[in-house]
Each structure stands twice: as C-alpha cells, then as structure tokens.
Amino acid sequence: RGRSTGAYFEMRSIGIREAIDPVILKRSFDDLIKRYDIFRTIFVYENIKEPRQVVLQEREAHVHYEDISHMDREEQDRFLENYKTTQKQTGFDLSRDLLMRVGVFKRADDHTTLVWSFHHILMDGWCFSIVLREMIGMYRSRVSGESLRLEPVTPYRDYVRWLERQDKEAGLRFWESYLADCPP
C-alpha cells in the first residue's frame, strides 16, 4: 500500500536528564497537534486525478512508552537502535496515518530517551527546533500547573492561500539565478 519510508522519513533522538510522565507528554503532544493544522494533515492521492491535502479536525498523538531501565546500557542502546530501525521500516501511510510518532524510553530514574519520528512533508529541521521548544514548554507547563503563553499560529490555510497568490515564474527565475553558480 502507500507506505512511505526512506528519504523523507525523519527521526530525532533526544536524551532527557529526568523522568518523563508519559500521560502528560501525550497530552502535550495532543496540544501540539491541535495547535498546528499541518500535524492533522493527510494526503489523498490514490484513485483521484490530482493529490489532495486534507486537514482533519482532530487527531491524537501516538506515544509509545517503555521502561528499559532493567537492561544494562549496551542492551538499552541495541533496543533503541532496533526500535529506530523498525520505525523507519514501518514508515508512514500518507493517506491514513498521523505523520509523526513518539517513543519514550525510561533508561534510569533520571534519564529518558525520546524518539520522535515524522514525515519530512510535515516539517524540516528548522521547524522541528521551534516545535520541540513549544512541546517542551507545553509539557513543563502541565507538570508545573503554570500557564504557558505562546504566540498565535497563522492557520495553515492562510499560508496555502498566500502561496497560491505568488508569481511562480518569478520564483523560478529567482532560484535559477541564486543557484546559477552552484555545481550540478
């Protein structure tokens, strides 16, 4: 079926020097998914003339939690590498899946590894750092009970409308000129 793996599969592994509450983390990811339309997006492309991007009203995060603290360090490392390999092989079905997954692995009482997989169609490395910072803020806010103030998000549909109004020929000329001196 339409599973995407390989070049467009992104994964970040983040070591955290504290115990993580997986229930609060899931709620924080759910908040992130509500905040950004793109995280509720699927792409319909089979049996239609032109592919369509569809933003769903609601999606829930998939957070896998596992306590691997009973393993020694080497076993933990192998376990995580296996998990990452399996995630990459599984990939994403662009027309059905939530296009990101999170694995949380307790390695010790004060050490957790978070593995965040996502399809590149959602975000790139530059965006990831912004989204990660926001998710951490959401998590810490929930843990502490303090409110978090984030800048409002421009709806994705506004960006798409702006993009559609752009002069595509001028954009092509700009990039051809800008990249003219780059080796092929």
Condensed to tens digits (0 to 9), the pLDDT of residues 92-118 reads 999 999 999 999 999 999 999 999 999
Cβ neighbours, 10 Å, residue 84? 15
Which two structure tokens, joined as six digits, stand for 35?
A: 């905040």
pLDDT at 1 exceeding the cut of 60: no
pTM summary value: 0.85
Decide if pLDDT at 29 tops 90.
yes
- Give the start-end residues of each E strand in 17-62: 41-44, 52-55
The pLDDT, as a whole number, for residue 184 is 78
Cα separation, 63 vs 115, in Å, equals 10
pLDDT band at 125 (very low <50, low <70, confident <90, very high): confident
